[in-house]
Structure 1
Amino acid sequence: MDIIAKSWCWQQQGKPTDLILKEKRIGELGDDEVLVRNTVIGLNPVDWKLIEYGYPQWSAGFVPGVDAAGIVLAVGGRMTHIRVGARVCYHTDLSKDGSFSTHTIVPGYALMHIPDKVSDFAAASFPCPSLTAWQAFRKVPDMKNRNVLVSGAGGSVGYFLTQLLLHTGARVYVTAGTKHHTEFQEMGVREAIDYKDTDWKDKMISTLQGNLFDAVFDTVNGSHAASLSPLLGYYGHLIAIQDRVEKAPLSAFTTCISLHEIALGAIHRHGSRKQIAELMQDGEILLDKIGNGTLKLRQQSVDNFDNLPLHLAEMKKNNTEVKYIIKVL
């Protein structure tokens, strides 16, 4: 196998537009690896953040990117059960050359097969936000008939998480920009309040008629998540999806809330192969639900491979709910 990939490469801490397009020779596959020819690349906030701040395992010439969909070109010795030509998508390890390339080597146990009813565009949009939402959803015991708040539901993670919670029978409340309120209410959300309202917390509590939340999912940052802890009732759950809550935000022997940290990327270094494979199996079930229309993804903004740095820079600048993706071929 002698394949030369075109790859957008990181050189040093900087802007997305500092990426350089280079040709890189694809190395030999390990026994547990698979070579994917990418057809569509999903862009995520973590991409521009790491390009800006760097990552311990990165050096000049590293290929960023965690999400893509494509076609299996070759498989390693222990991956012969994966069919060459299969349509797959993936979320890859931050410490390995990633998806900003025409070709990417991925562990075979970290692939998700794409159902026929799901396009490569949808599949590339799926892994990072939707698996993050799924991990957050799974942190909390049965939420049926429980009061749940999703803070920042307008983004890709919050949007998908809100649907998961509604399908499980939770009583869901959200904060989001006003342009999203009608859609959320049509989904079945009990109350949607603009997070820009200075008194949104008081408004939200008033809708609960003397109750508090059983779970709060925050997509903003650790300090914002901590600020939401007074909204939780006894034995409630606070799930910080973006960042973490470093210390207990409430006094001991009060509501005794549980703190939860979400870090999808950490599974590649700290999870077992079994845990990764199970997550991929869950992902395939979710992709089936996207294919049959049970679950929905955010609207997409598509650009070509040659414009990847510009499209990523635009995503960073606009900070909207739109999912930015790149068509490779």
Structure 2
Amino acid sequence: MKALILEKPGELDSLTVVTNREMPEPKDNEIRVKVYTAGLNPSDYQVAEYDGLESEKKRVLGLEIAGIVDAVGSSVNNFEIGDRVYYLRSINNLDGGFAEYSVTTAHTASKLPDEVPFELAAVVPAAGYTAYQAIMQKLKPQSGGTILIHGGAGGVGGYAIQLAKICGLKVITTCLGKDIDYVRVLGADEAIDFTKGSVYEDILNLTNGRGVDYVLNTISPDSATKDLEILAFGGEMVVTAGFPDFSRIRFYDKGMSLHEIALGAAHTQGDFNAQSNLARIGDHFGKLLAEGKIVPPQITTITMEEIPSYLKKLKEGKITGKVAARVI
């Protein structure tokens, strides 16, 4: 089968399209999927550049996958051949989405409504599920509150803005100046150009000095530490890229709650309930998409051959929205 393989672990430039990759076979609890579209993510280039992931066969990247069930394992009873599906692949699964066929565990995949095109479904599982878990499952925000969402023009941020609006929140987001109109279309009430250097001063001005009730930080521990300054008393913070430095505040200063998102670790930690939650998120997210309650981010559609160059663009921060590679 045709696939984009990583010839040399640690070298992004070693990604190579081949036509003789062996087709994966599903195990008892797995399904094989004919891949129609696969999404690109930062973890793809991060894994490609990591030198400590030697494996028994060459790795196929691609975490976000949408396609049609082609074969099922002997113990699978929740999918049939021909079902439309989408899912978040385990990082330990060497048969990823940048190939004509992929496999995954049946209890982590979701059926895809007919109304949702593969190109849209393939840019949801990593960014969309992360945003969903952060807003809907971790924060469970009260309507009327205010949230700061970093990087509103990115994958997680774009979905988070829309989920926050569904929950009745006022949304403040950061982005590049060129993306301000884009994040406003997604629903942001206020957009701040983070290159101007006055993000936290602007947030305090917008909230009359109180700060925000909720923060979604997808940037870094340093950024999350700065967020402590504008988190209102009793506020909640969700982090995806590292904890803030709590030595900057004293106990009782904030009365805050902190939530960590480690979405893909559900696969690697082996917790069946956490893994099954991925499918539950996908089931609900698919309904939101089918009902038009979540609009797609700006999607750039490319070919398999273009994946390496677009992973470099993603690494350099040159992508607005999401990128989907059409495999079929």
- Tell me the TM-score normalised to structure 2 length: 0.91
Specify the code of the residue in structure 2 equivalent to 1:73. D
Alpha-carbon displacement from aligned partner over 1:264-318 (angstroms, at most 9, x marks no partner): 1101122532332233122222122222221112111122223332332333345
2:68 aligned with 1:71 = yes
In the other structure, the counterpart of 1:11 is 7
> In 2, distance between residues paired with 1:256 and 1:303?
47
SS of 1:225's equivalent in the other structure is: helix
Change (3 A) 1:186 1:50: closer
> In 2, distance between residues paired with 1:316 and 1:142?
32
Alpha-carbon displacement from aligned partner over 1:152-186 (angstroms, at most 9, x marks no partner): 21111101001101111112211122333334445
> In 2, distance between residues paired with 1:283 and 1:164?
14
2:43 aligned with 1:26 = no
Change (3 A) 1:54 1:264: farther
Cα pair 2:115 2:290 within 8 Å, conserved: yes
In the other structure, the counterpart of 2:231 is 232
- How far the C-alpha of 1:263 sits from its partner, in A, is 1.6
Which of 93, 116, 124 is the equivalent residue of 1:96?
A: 93
2:116 aligned with 1:114 = no
> In 2, distance between residues paired with 1:120 and 1:188?
24
> In 2, distance between residues paired with 1:92 and 1:187?
27
> In 2, distance between residues paired with 1:131 and 1:49?
19
Please identify, of 214-223 and 245-254, the stretch whose mean Cα deviation from structure 2 is larger.
245-254
- Residue pairs, 1:164-183, within 5 angstroms: 164-183=163-182
> In 1, distance between residues paired with 2:322 and 2:213?
30
Q: How many residues align?
A: 325
- How far the C-alpha of 1:208 sits from its partner, in A, is 0.9
Please identify, of 110-119 and 308-317, the stretch whose mean Cα deviation from structure 2 is larger.
308-317
Cα pair 1:237 1:259 within 8 Å, conserved: yes
Alpha-carbon displacement from aligned partner over 1:99-146 (angstroms, at most 9, x marks no partner): 221111110111111111111100111111100111111211433111
Alpha-carbon displacement from aligned partner over 1:248-270 (angstroms, at most 9, x marks no partner): 54222311322222121101122
Change (3 A) 1:71 1:141: closer
> In 1, distance between residues paired with 2:24 and 2:100?
14
Flag structure 1 segments of 5+ consecutive residues without an equivalent. none
> In 1, distance between residues paired with 2:23 and 2:249?
52
Flag structure 2 segments of 5+ consecutive residues without an equivalent. none
> In 1, distance between residues paired with 2:272 and 2:45?
28
- Residue pairs, 1:131-146, within 5 angstroms: 131-137=129-135, 138-146=137-145
Change (3 A) 1:123 1:181: same
In the other structure, the counterpart of 2:261 is 262
In the other structure, the counterpart of 1:200 is 199
Specify the code of the residue in structure 2 equivalent to 1:90. Y
Cα pair 2:42 2:315 within 8 Å, conserved: yes
In the other structure, the counterpart of 2:315 is 316
Cα pair 1:11 1:59 within 8 Å, conserved: no
SS of 1:25's equivalent in the other structure is: coil
> In 2, distance between residues paired with 1:54 and 1:132?
26
> In 2, distance between residues paired with 1:327 and 1:69?
10
> In 2, distance between residues paired with 1:268 and 1:305?
26
- Tell me the TM-score normalised to structure 1 length: 0.91
> In 2, distance between residues paired with 1:210 and 1:308?
45
Change (3 A) 1:89 1:263: same
Specify the code of the residue in structure 2 equivalent to 1:29. P
Cα pair 1:222 1:246 within 8 Å, conserved: yes
Please identify, of 49-58 and 95-104, the stretch whose mean Cα deviation from structure 2 is larger.
49-58
> In 2, distance between residues paired with 1:147 and 1:29?
46
Change (3 A) 1:318 1:172: closer
2:294 aligned with 1:295 = yes
> In 1, distance between residues paired with 2:14 and 2:54?
19
